[in-house]
């Protein structure tokens, strides 16, 4: 795969990840978000901590000038968050299709991560 096509895949997948993650900061106090966190049995302080952390991680993944190692940790943290969401939803709601919805975002994050590494080797 060429450098150009890898860059296109990277920016599309990273842009989609950002679209999944970054807007969430504006809805932290929404009734739906508060009800969802209560439904999962998690404390409200964790909701705010996770929301702010996800926003910062999304910015680190999206903005090019952050160091490679910091981006690595942001990818790891976001991946753990998405996989934990699947576990939490499946534990509370059972094995219904919507419990696995975060795997879609995880798959896109994985494409972004793999193309990020491929770009590092092609440069």
Residue 54, C-beta contacts closer than 8 angstroms, at least 6 positions apart: 21, 24, 25, 78, 81
Higher pLDDT, 116 or 121: 116
pLDDT bucket at 121, cuts 50 / 70 / 90: confident
Best CA proximity match to 58, nearest among 103, 100, 99, 13: 13
| Number of domains observed in the structure of the chain | 1
pLDDT bucket at 100, cuts 50 / 70 / 90: very high
Is this model's pTM higher than 0.75 or not?
A: yes
Checking if the pLDDT of 1 tops 80, the result is no
- The 10s digit of each residue's pLDDT in 7-17 is 999 999 999 99
Angle between helices 44-62 and 31-39 (to 10 degrees): 110
Report d(CA 46, CA 56) in Å as an integer.
15
- The 10s digit of each residue's pLDDT in 26-80 is 999 999 999 999 999 999 999 999 999 999 999 999 999 999 999 999 999 999 9
Angle between helices 102-122 and 3-21 (to 10 degrees): 150
Q: Which domain holds residue 46?
A: 3-122
CB atoms under 10 Å from CB of 86, counted, come to: 15
Checking if the pLDDT of 120 tops 90, the result is no
Report d(CA 72, CA 49) in Å as an integer.
20
Checking if the pLDDT of 123 tops 80, the result is no
Could you give the angle at the alpha carbon of 72 between the alpha carbons of 29 and 25, nearest 5°?
10
């Amino acid at each position: 795969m060429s450098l150009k096509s890898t860059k296109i895949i990277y920016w599309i997948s990273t842009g989609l990840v950002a679209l999944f993650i970054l807007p969430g900061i504006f809805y932290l106090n929404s009734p739906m978000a508060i009800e969802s966190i209560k439904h999962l049995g998690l404390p409200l302080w964790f909701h705010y901590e996770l929301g702010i952390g996800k926003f910062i991680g999304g910015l680190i993944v999206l903005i090019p000038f952050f160091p490679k190692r910091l981006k690595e940790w942001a990818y790891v943290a976001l991946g753990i968050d998405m996989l934990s969401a699947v576990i939490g939803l499946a534990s509370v709601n059972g094995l219904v299709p919507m419990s696995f919805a975060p795997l879609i975002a995880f798959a896109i994050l994985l494409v972004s991560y793999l193309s990020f590494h491929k770009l590092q080797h092609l440069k």
